[in-house]
Structure 1
Amino acid sequence: MSSSDPAFSGSIPELYERLMVPMLFEPYARDLARRAREVAPASVLELAAGTGVVTRQLAEVLSPDAAIVATDLSQAMLDEAASREIARPVEWVAADAMSLPFADASFDLVVCQFGVMFFPDKPTAFAEARRVLRPGGSLLFNVWDEVAANDFVAVVQAALAEFFPEDPPSFMAELPHGYHSADRIRRDLELGGFTRPVAIETRPDESRASSAEAAAIAYCQANPNRLQIERRGSLDAATRHVTAALTARFGSGPIKGRMQALVVSTTR
């Protein structure tokens, strides 16, 4: 995705922050920030910061003297992040994770929440992360586990396949939930120059939404899945169909379901 790609622009950043962040990302952001605090970094680089859910957590828990630089390929997402209240000043930089505009050995910690899956060339991105890390510095990131381990996504995918039987949208399965092989992650890290032991922890949690409709809007309209749906037919009709499927599975009113991610850490 290029910086001009509409995938994370238009109405998506605001919907993403309002609907997807509390439903999916806040619990894992707190977890990553806790792990980052244990590293006690003096300087942190965040990749694929999105609307800043991890950035805000880092600003809360890290040492007051720790410098935070938050990057994302999408300026629209960074603008949304910068508009939110945060506990300390943060440097927001539009940057490509595969070609970082920072000097060698600039950071003690590189952190990334649910962004690695989107990097077209993961070994190159890992090599860039390693380049900007100081010797002994840490790389910390998480990725989603497979669709089957994430209840909301599984229902959404099945509903969209039913609604578009000849050409189901593939975004969710191929990108957000398409990079969960521990062997592949370790191989890509090694290709990127990380030769020290890699820790990969399975981290279950619970996703919550105020309603089935809110979850359906989040999955159908607040991420690049929207573009695939719009190319195939009516976004509103598809969202209604997904809402009905989520309601049938989880009921009316507030809903909850299993979600699961992998947390990966290593050092330079």
Structure 2
Amino acid sequence: MPAAYERYLVPVVFRPFAEDLTARAAAFRPRRVLELAAGTGVLTSELLAMAPPPAEVTATDLNGAMVALGAARAPGAVWRQADAQRLPFPDEAFDLVVCQFGVMFFPDRVAAFGEVRRVLAPGGRFLFNTWGPIEEHAFEVALQAGLERAFPDDPPRFFPTVPHGYADPAAAVADLTAAGFVVEEEQALTLEGRAESIADLVTGYLTGTPVRAAVEERGGGPTVRETVLAEMTARLGPGPVTASMGAYVFRATA
């Protein structure tokens, strides 16, 4: 799953936002950076390349397979398998904590945010993004329509409920405040993704995300891919296609 995620989804869906988040991070000239939910390292690679470079980037993820692939792709970082709700780092160890599209997966966000605040030095920043409503992500609107066509009685609901399930910025601000942060900025952001092939994007979504398990649980086979591909192609074209993706960016101070 990590390899399919990296090959088919990262360039289209995640790299544009990694570049944006890195530009924001560079403005603080951090020396010690911690990344949460680093995945296969798309943001990690951008952080390592930013100018001026931080003295050290520590990248973490709960998934060991993601850590292994990320460490191979971005060996300049220190990689650790870690739970964001129980970070294995001392107090005040970092100047900046960043997280790209990961906080939606934390079971207890206030607890995770509290851990982030604990490992930040006084005045350190927490910088992260979340997806907006699924209706603002053209690729995933088309994907979900394809899944609903393939499984009309019980479509997988992973994308509306998890990646796009923390799409109320007021909820994120409330959770940050409850964890003791001062929220400095909350910004809606829309960027474009460019897919050379909708067929490749379908492969990425169906084999490189938890939708893979949901399809398998429903007994899905090759016909599911054909149905999803037909729906996404009807809505977006076969590719190359450029589509908008909506998100929110938050910056908070410890």
Structure 2-normalised TM-score?
0.97
Q: Which residue of 2 aligns with 1:61?
A: 50
Alignment of 1:41-190 (within 5 A): 41-64=30-53, 66-84=55-73, 86=74, 89-190=76-177
CA distance in structure 1 between the partners assigned to 2:213 and 2:224 by the alignment: 12
Q: Which residue of 2 aligns with 1:9?
A: none
Q: Which residue of 2 aligns with 1:8?
A: none
The AA in structure 2 aligned to 1:41 is P
Q: 1:192 to 1:209 in 2, by over 3 A?
A: same
The AA in structure 1 aligned to 2:117 is R
Contact map agreement 1:186 1:198 (CA 8 A) in 2: no
Please list every run of 5 or more consecutive structure 2 residues that lacks an aligned counterpart in the other structure: none
CA distance in structure 2 between the partners assigned to 1:197 and 1:162 by the alignment: 41
Q: CA deviation at 1:183?
A: 1.1
Q: CA deviation at 1:65?
A: 5.1
What count of residue pairs does the alignment treat as equivalent? 254
CA distance in structure 2 between the partners assigned to 1:82 and 1:181 by the alignment: 33
Q: CA-atom RMSD, angstroms? A: 1.2
Q: Which residue of 2 aligns with 1:228?
A: 214
Moved more, 210-219 or 37-46: 210-219
**What do residues 230-255 of structure 1 show as CA deviations (whole Å, max 9, x unaligned)?**
10122422121111111111222312
Q: CA deviation at 1:89?
A: 2.3
CA distance in structure 1 between the partners assigned to 2:221 and 2:77 by the alignment: 36
Task: State the secondary structure of the residue aligned to 2:183.
Answer: coil
**What do residues 72-93 of structure 1 show as CA deviations (whole Å, max 9, x unaligned)?**
0011001111112x4x721000
The AA in structure 1 aligned to 2:212 is R
Q: CA deviation at 1:164?
A: 0.8
The AA in structure 1 aligned to 2:34 is L
Runs of 4+ in 1 over 2 A off after TM superposition: 62-65
CA distance in structure 1 between the partners assigned to 2:106 and 2:22 by the alignment: 22
Instruction: Calculate percent identity across the aligned residue pairs.
Output: 44
**What do residues 84-143 of structure 1 show as CA deviations (whole Å, max 9, x unaligned)?**
2x4x72100000000000000000000000000000000000000000000000000001
Alignment of 1:190-205 (within 5 A): 190-194=177-181, 196-205=182-191
Contact map agreement 1:140 1:264 (CA 8 A) in 2: yes
Alignment of 1:203-218 (within 5 A): 203-218=189-204
Q: CA deviation at 1:215?
A: 1.3
CA distance in structure 1 between the partners assigned to 2:250 and 2:87 by the alignment: 21
